[in-house]
Structure 1
Amino acid sequence: KGDETKASSVYNGLEPLRGEDIADVIHYCSSLPDHVCINDLVITPKAQANATNTFRKNR
């Protein structure tokens, strides 16, 4: 089995996205005029540069 302490510390210093964040984006996109088309949308936390690089607070 893995190390629970190590596993639980994976997200220390990171502020994850919340459901409210996604809901705000959905509301914004759904309220755009008909002539606006969102073809692609990538939502990541501000501290996440890409899938493998993050910037942690307090480190």
Structure 2
Amino acid sequence: MNRRKKIQQLLKVHAKKASAKRAPQKKSKYISKADRAKLATESNDDAAVVTQS
């Protein structure tokens, strides 16, 4: 592989990574099962407080 081809490949890879960073994220951030359970209990507690008021 000659020097010019190596440089072109590197530039292409860097451009691809940069465009991937700028693209909007397709998936939301992963939330563990324990965190989901904790969030569910917190939301239930908040709902209970609102109904009691």
Could you say which structure has the larger radius of gyration?
2
Give TM-score scaled by structure 2 length. Answer: 0.31
Give TM-score scaled by structure 1 length. Answer: 0.29
Structure whose residues are more often helix by fraction: 2
